[in-house]
A and B are shown apart, each in its own frame.
Chain A
Amino acid sequence: MSNLLTWITFLPLIGAVVVSVLPKGRPQYAKWVAAAFAAVDLGLTGWLIAGFDRARGGAMQFAVDVPWVPQAAIRYHLGVDGISITMLALAALLGLLAVVGSWKVTDRPKTYFVMLLLLQVGMNGVFMALDFVLFYVFWELVLVPMFFLIGMWGGARREYASIKFFIYTLAGSVFMLVGILALYLAPNSGTFDMLALAKLGQAGVFRDIEGWVFLLFFLGFAVKVPIWPLHTWLPDAHVEAPTAASVLLAGILLKMGAYGFIRISLPILPHAARAWAPWIALLAVISIIYGAAVAFAQTDLKKLVAYSSVSHMGFVMLGIAAMNPEGLNGAVAAMFSHGVVTGMLFFIVGMVYERTHTRQIADLSGLSAAAPVTGGLLAFASFASLGLPGLSGFVGEFLSLLGAWRASTGTSPLFWSGLVVIAAVGVLFAAAYMLWMVLRVVLGRPSEAVRSVTDASGREIGVLLPLIALTLIVGIWWGSLLGFVDPAVKALLAATGAA
């Protein structure tokens, strides 16, 4: 089925239309319809995965490539390789779980679920688009529903947070837009096709402009990842966003930035990427340590998780900057794992908040005594997050470190090995902030707020189960994920001459 990618992308759009025309008097229908569309979308993604040829994971499969705006050489070009399919799967899964996790939303449910489905369109599309204009459209499309989700269903400071999120990321992507146009307008170019541009870039066509075009893309992606010091929109957005939006924000939206580096910066601007790699690695390591230290000082549970994302995404960027098989496999593994594990953390924090109406760590204590399942799951997610071997978080962190160390055998060994040592200390810091949170929230005698909470419901456990399963599967059998990723990594490195 050659239209499979198109269906996966736009099925949620049909869902959004259907939800929006549902009868006004029956708001409870909205979630069922949304869940049905998200479930079918996930099913189609499953079908896609089943039909995906892992051995040829380096090539774009299921490609659709037709003219869209022929006058400007803009094409409707979709395709997935081994890297994008993992991100797509994550987006489809978290998209469904976000809908099911929002079952109790009663405030303007129709609009809410329309927004979730629209968001799904953008998220799916970003990971498939192979035409720059198409990519940019999906990229910006994601902003709009997320803006409304935070702004309309968020917490007390939702306006501030949503607008800050919007402006900040939009400002970033404006730079990216300039970068896209620069590539299009460059001599001997005249195409928006990312694969064609990669070939040109690898042939050295963009040699003269590569440096500053890379910088433009860097600004766009770095805000999204986020890389220190461009991260301050993230804690605000996370804290104010409703649970499902936090899950998708951390799980998918941050990945878009890192994905941009892998899909665009590395293949199209390989020479600049290599030149800038040490600086990116430096910022990555600052993000790791800085995010972990600031997370340690947080008094708000959600903010702690938000800053932990800054730290974890640092490992992703470190792996990317290493530009070798270990590093890139590690980066994608860390992206996937962060999506699963942080998604889990945000769901659980949401469950706790729903019951206690507080996210202040000081008010929460003894969760495992009052609600053993919820407490146990929070502890499990925390251990996955701090990189315990056997759970998914370890794979990415470890491989990123291996990759970064291998990079140190190239030029400037002292610089790189110093970075790796500091990054490894970040692993220790991760244990510190996570375990200290567990100590205060999960362990001990139940506090006033926690004493009478009900434990996780069947639906809530159902939402978390797939994430728990993925954490274990990827953590134990690395090949289940890297079997898709590595062929693509290999192809990428071979093409850019860095293998």
Chain B
Amino acid sequence: MAWVLLIALLPALAFAAMAPMSRAVRNRMQWLPLTAMSGSLVLSFAAFVEVWRAGLGEEPVWEAAVKLAELGGNPLEVGLRIDAITAVMLLVVTIVGLCVQVYSLGYMHKDERRGWYFAVLSLFSAAMLLLVLAGDFLLLYMSWEVMGLCSYLLIGFWHEEEGPRSASIKAFLTTRVGDVGFALGLAVMWATAGTFGFGAVARFNWGAGAGLAAASAVALLLLFGAMGKSAQVPLHVWLPDAMAGPTPASALIHAATMVAAGVYLVIRAMPIFIASSHENLHAVITIGVITAVVGGLLAVVQHDIKKLLAYSTISQLGFMFVALGAGSTGAALFHLVTHAFFKSLLFLGAGVIIHATHTQDIREMGGLRRALPWTTTTFTIGALALAGLPGLSGFFSKDEILVALVNIPDAYRYGLWEKWVLVGLMLFAAGLTAFYMTRLWIRVFGDNACSLARESHKKMLVPMAVLAAISVVIGWTQPAFLTFLGHEAAWPDPLMAGLSVAVFAIGVGGGWLVYGRQVVDTEVIKARFPYAYGMLANKLYFDLTYSELLVRPFHELAGWLSRFDQRRVDGVVNGAASWWDDFAGLLWAGDIRVIDGAVNGLGSLVKRAGARVREIEVGRVQVYQQLAYAGLLIVLLVVLLLPWLRVLLGLLVPMLRGA
């Protein structure tokens, strides 16, 4: 099955072909990434079928590795691995990727650098596909970083503006904070297990004591990396800002695929978590719950449609982490898949809306349901899927997470009430989802404000229709999906489903009462709870804390060190030179004149060149110059008079040896 490499290679080649071209040529090459992506999609289907036929569940269908290098004779290998998880991820990435590319044909058609946009999108797809094809943590890490680069390039795509510029660097650096953890995790993994391969690491016997501590370290360090990429609190701050990039890129990278890579990483690392300590999974669950709730709360107060969706993404990624913390990779992956489809759909819809209204502020929108019928329909499907309407995909996957939480293995040592506190918090987050999506829907489509907005081109609507259709049907595959992964097939649990429906109804109803019927004035609420609202409006002060406690001090430290370097470290050097000057002037003035005279020939060469020495340094330079001549003389003496060294050595050696 070596042909699976083509899945990642095709988009990579498309990028390689476009990157060196001039802007004009590149702009005419948009078909190339599209063709490559279509090829990848077909091949991904083929891979999926192969895996389906093999029906191996968690076991890989095919594995291969190549030697990257040898270290002290031991091979360092990277490789590919095809199993059920890979097959699913390949399909998700290629389907969403192709939809986004087709959509972008319409969305970006007036941009003068659209060729570069498509090229980077193609490189991103290649990296993401290689990431899911990878059979080891090293190759995963490498593609992970390349994705980060593409994310950076696309967030800052419109770099003439200040906003995208600073958002791009913020995104790269924040995720790289996580990557420091990831890289250290790899170092510990290599030092302990001596391998990076998924299978080999999973089979590795970490032993007890120090080995177990190492396993814990690996698990937590990889988790830290995952938190950066998947925007988990407290490393989530980059994702809302990342919305400064083109909207279809946000749909693909910052909603559907790249941000889910952290979840994917933890899925792959799950054997290490299980081998180490259940407390590491407690950490995963805690981070997930906090992120789900914080993301949901912050989404409620957003006015920017893209930022609202971004906080929603953060919250949903938190849901996936909760599933992981409960040890249920199946539930996490299922939610990853459904979320990829409906959230990218929502972003593409948001793109149409922004195109049509020329604003991202939902307070300036309204009544778009008449002007944008297609967009309204598909967006509504996406919103309901996200909010958890029974029958749509989000309902199934969210339910699966709640079930996983209730059925959390006893080995993880949760008390009964702890378990139900977690369930309660997740239900609260789910209710928030329904609430803020209702708010969004009413603000954008609801009121009767007259709108002159016009529906977008078919190129943009068709991909949305495709994603909407998938969002409707994919939930029903739940039992098959779980079987495919080698887990136990299950339909929603009646109790959890009932609770889900209840919070959905409460969320939507609440949203409708507040924003539709306006039974309460939101301004009154804001005035009544100024402290709480201030906290939310300021994004819980995460950004402020980082800029005041980390970024600014670093700027100051760098400035201080730079001055220290010049004045102190270099000051010692220059001080030594002028000390030498005084010393030499006092004692060996005559000698220096002799040496100086001896090398005058060479010196005049430099003197002719040195007419413009800064005044302050004149004194110092003269010393240096004299020393330089002396030094040159030594060199010349050593080189030219080497044979005479014999005399010296002949005298010295017996003396010293004798002594």
- Candidates A133, A160, A427, A432; contact of B614 at CB < 8 Å: A160
- Cα A443 to Cα B176 in complex, Å, equals 21
- Candidates A147, A444, A493; contact of B72 at CB < 8 Å: A493
The size class of the interface chain B forms with chain A is 35 or more
Interface string of B170-192 (1 = CB under 8 A from A): 00110011011001101110110
- Candidates A148, A167, A483, A493; contact of B631 at CB < 8 Å: A167
Distance from A9 Cβ to chain B, minimum over Cβ atoms (Å): 15
> Is A74 in contact with chain B by the CB < 8 A criterion?
yes
In A132-148, which residues have CB < 8 Å from any B CB? Answer: 133, 136-137, 140-141, 143-144, 147-148
- Cα A366 to Cα B297 in complex, Å, equals 39
- Candidates B180, B621, B628, B631; contact of A425 at CB < 8 Å: B180
- Cα A150 to Cα B404 in complex, Å, equals 69
Contact A297 B183 (CB under 8 A): no
Residue on B nearest A289 in the bound complex, by CB: B561
- Cα A290 to Cα B69 in complex, Å, equals 31
Contact A160 B173 (CB under 8 A): no
> Is A159 in contact with chain B by the CB < 8 A criterion?
yes
| A-side contacts of B586, CB under 8 Å | none
Interface string of B66-89 (1 = CB under 8 A from A): 011111111010000000000000
- Cα A174 to Cα B638 in complex, Å, equals 11
Distance from A230 Cβ to chain B, minimum over Cβ atoms (Å): 9
Contact B609 A151 (CB under 8 A): yes
In the complex, identify which listed stretch (B57-65, B490-498, B534-542, B644-652) lies at the interface while the others stay far away: B644-652
- Cα A380 to Cα B50 in complex, Å, equals 39
- Cα A38 to Cα B586 in complex, Å, equals 48
Interface string of B537-580 (1 = CB under 8 A from A): 00000000000000000110111011001000110010001000
In the complex, identify which listed stretch (B140-148, B229-237, B344-352) lies at the interface while the others stay far away: B140-148
| B-side contacts of A390, CB under 8 Å | 142, 145-146
> Is B612 in contact with chain A by the CB < 8 A criterion?
yes
> Is A190 in contact with chain B by the CB < 8 A criterion?
yes
Contact A69 B173 (CB under 8 A): no
- Cα A230 to Cα B135 in complex, Å, equals 44
Residue on B nearest A438 in the bound complex, by CB: B169
Contact A428 B609 (CB under 8 A): no
In B112-127, which residues have CB < 8 Å from any A CB? Answer: none
- Cα A325 to Cα B75 in complex, Å, equals 11
Contact B635 A163 (CB under 8 A): no
> Is B643 in contact with chain A by the CB < 8 A criterion?
yes
| A-side contacts of B612, CB under 8 Å | 156
| B-side contacts of A372, CB under 8 Å | 23
Residue on A nearest B71 in the bound complex, by CB: A325
| A-side contacts of B166, CB under 8 Å | 439
- Cα A54 to Cα B406 in complex, Å, equals 59
> Is A364 in contact with chain B by the CB < 8 A criterion?
no
Interface string of A387-405 (1 = CB under 8 A from B): 0111000100011011011
Contact A443 B624 (CB under 8 A): no
The size class of the interface chain A forms with chain B is 35 or more
Distance from A59 Cβ to chain B, minimum over Cβ atoms (Å): 15
- Candidates B149, B183, B642; contact of A424 at CB < 8 Å: B183
In B324-348, which residues have CB < 8 Å from any A CB? Answer: none
> Is A436 in contact with chain B by the CB < 8 A criterion?
yes
- Candidates B176, B554, B639, B656; contact of A140 at CB < 8 Å: B639
- Cα A329 to Cα B76 in complex, Å, equals 12
Contact B69 A483 (CB under 8 A): yes
Question: A interface, by DSSP: helix, strand, loop or mixed?
Answer: helix
With known contacts A72-B645, A324-B72, A431–B172 Cβ distance under 8 A: yes
> Is B425 in contact with chain A by the CB < 8 A criterion?
no
> Is B521 in contact with chain A by the CB < 8 A criterion?
no
Contact A159 B183 (CB under 8 A): no
Distance from A231 Cβ to chain B, minimum over Cβ atoms (Å): 8
- Cα A477 to Cα B70 in complex, Å, equals 12
> Is B459 in contact with chain A by the CB < 8 A criterion?
no
| B-side contacts of A231, CB under 8 Å | 569
Contact A486 B165 (CB under 8 A): no
With known contacts A164-B573, A427-B180, A428-B173, A159–B639 Cβ distance under 8 A: no
In B125-157, which residues have CB < 8 Å from any A CB? Answer: 141-143, 145-146, 149, 152, 156
Contact A160 B184 (CB under 8 A): no
| A-side contacts of B620, CB under 8 Å | 160
Residue on A nearest B645 in the bound complex, by CB: A72
Contact A293 B627 (CB under 8 A): no
Contact B156 A166 (CB under 8 A): no
Distance from B606 Cβ to chain A, minimum over Cβ atoms (Å): 5
> Is A383 in contact with chain B by the CB < 8 A criterion?
yes
| A-side contacts of B557, CB under 8 Å | 293
- Cα A273 to Cα B488 in complex, Å, equals 58
| A-side contacts of B277, CB under 8 Å | none
- Cα A70 to Cα B649 in complex, Å, equals 12
With known contacts A71-B650, A388-B146, A159–B180 Cβ distance under 8 A: no
- Cα A489 to Cα B620 in complex, Å, equals 44
> Is A326 in contact with chain B by the CB < 8 A criterion?
yes
> Is B209 in contact with chain A by the CB < 8 A criterion?
no
| A-side contacts of B141, CB under 8 Å | 389
- Candidates A164, A478, A490; contact of B76 at CB < 8 Å: A478
| A-side contacts of B605, CB under 8 Å | 148, 152
Residue on A nearest B610 in the bound complex, by CB: A159
> Is B160 in contact with chain A by the CB < 8 A criterion?
yes
Residue on B nearest A330 in the bound complex, by CB: B71
- Cα A329 to Cα B69 in complex, Å, equals 10
List chain B positions with a Cβ less than 8 A from chain A: 23, 67-74, 76, 141-143, 145-146, 149, 152, 156, 159-160, 165-166, 168-169, 172-173, 176-177, 179-180, 183-184, 186-188, 190-191, 554-555, 557-559, 561-562, 565, 569-570, 573, 577, 605-606, 609-610, 612-614, 617, 620-621, 624-625, 627-628, 631-632, 634-635, 638-639, 642-643, 645-646, 649-650, 652-653, 656-657
Of the A-B pairs whose beta carbons lie under 8 Å apart in the complex, a sample of 29, sorted by A's number, is A72-B649, A137-B642, A151-B609, A159-B621, A163-B624, A167-B627, A168-B573, A170-B635, A174-B634, A229-B569, A296-B558, A297-B558, A297-B559, A325-B71, A329-B69, A366-B160, A388-B149, A399-B71, A406-B191, A424-B184, A427-B180, A431-B172, A431-B176, A435-B173, A443-B156, A443-B160, A445-B160, A486-B70, A490-B73
The 8 closest A-B pairs by CB, nearest first: A325-B72, A389-B142, A163-B624, A405-B187, A297-B562, A482-B69, A232-B570, A297-B558
Known: A168-B573, A405-B187, A408-B191. 18 other contacts (CB 8 A): A72-B645, A141-B635, A143-B635, A144-B635, A152-B605, A158-B610, A160-B613, A167-B631, A184-B649, A297-B559, A402-B187, A402-B191, A439-B165, A439-B168, A445-B160, A479-B68, A479-B69, A482-B71
